[in-house]
Amino acid sequence: MSNQPDMPDWDDLQDLWQDTPEVDMSKLASHARFVWWRMRFNFAFELLACAGGLAFMIWDLWHAEGWIRILFDIFFILFCSGGLWAAFYVRRGAWGDPGETALSLVELQIKRAQSSIRYVQVNNWGCLAGVPIIVMTYLMVHQQGLITDEKSLVLNILMGIGIATFTLFPILSRPYVKSKRDLVGKLELMAEHLRQQDVD
């Protein structure tokens, strides 16, 4: 039983839908409760990180000297602003109350699965934007002499790992996106059956 006022009890959902064993309604309801908390935690963290980064970069731009640092600050301000927009964009339609019926739960889970797909897609674009940030960081560090020659090898390795990560993430995330799209297909089929059941 859920302790949250806007999270209904879904213990009897298994009895409401027996014709689609591919999707376990009890697990779906349990997952809905988990996602309810996870979405809010991630959203709060992203807002704080992006807002904090945006405030710091605006302050740093005010004191910046040298075109590399100015360009870096401007780019990062745009990056953090995009992050704030994305935090709302990827979750649109996925916040709602599951309602009191099996159909409302399934429809909400469809929106949340679609939200997960958007989340990965936005992160893929973020990885693309992260590559020039790494390059500008590298140039700024060397231009301003912020690192000794002895430590430059470590910096080069870290930069290489960062670029490799940002490059590989869009590729490695494809199976996850595919699994979510498959789930959306199953849930949409289930939702259609539930609508027909309501009509009958």
**Radius of gyration, alpha carbons of the chain:** 22
pLDDT on residue 180: 92
Phi first, then psi, for residue 188 (nearest 5°) are -65, -40
Looking at the predicted structure, is the pLDDT value of residue 20 above 60? Answer: no
Q: Do residues 108 and 96 lie in contact, with contact meaning Cβ atoms separated by under 8 Å?
A: yes
pLDDT on residue 173: 93
Structure tokens at 111: 């929106």
**Does 11 fall in a domain?**
no
Looking at the predicted structure, is the pLDDT value of residue 18 above 60? Answer: no
Q: Do residues 72 and 136 lie in contact, with contact meaning Cβ atoms separated by under 8 Å?
A: yes
pLDDT on residue 39: 82
pLDDT band at 4 (very low <50, low <70, confident <90, very high): very low
**Does 128 fall in a domain?**
yes
Give the range of the structural domain holding residue 191, as residue numbers without chain letter. 23-199
pLDDT on residue 148: 62
Q: What sign does the dihedral 2-25-180-114 (CA atoms) show?
A: negative
Q: How many residues does the chain have?
A: 200
**Does 155 fall in a domain?**
yes
Looking at the predicted structure, is the pLDDT value of residue 30 above 80? Answer: no
Burial class (CB in 10 A: 0-12, 13-18, 19+), 67: exposed
Number of domains in the chain: 1
In 3D space, the residue among 175, 193, 42, 27 whose CA is nearest the CA of residue 109 turns out to be: 27
Q: Do residues 194 and 103 lie in contact, with contact meaning Cβ atoms separated by under 8 Å?
A: yes
**Does 44 fall in a domain?**
yes
**Does 171 fall in a domain?**
yes
Phi first, then psi, for residue 167 (nearest 5°) are -75, -40
What's 90's DSSP letter?
A: T
What region does 99 belong to: left with phi over 0, alpha with psi -120 to 50, or beta?
left
What gap in Å lies between CA 13 and CA 101, rounded to an integer? 8
Phi first, then psi, for residue 95 (nearest 5°) are -85, -20
**Does 6 fall in a domain?**
no
**Does 63 fall in a domain?**
yes
**Does 1 fall in a domain?**
no
Structure tokens at 60: 């740093």
Residues 76-110 have pLDDT tens digits of 898 889 889 988 888 887 777 666 677 888 888 88
Q: Which residue has the higher pLDDT, 9 or 99?
A: 99
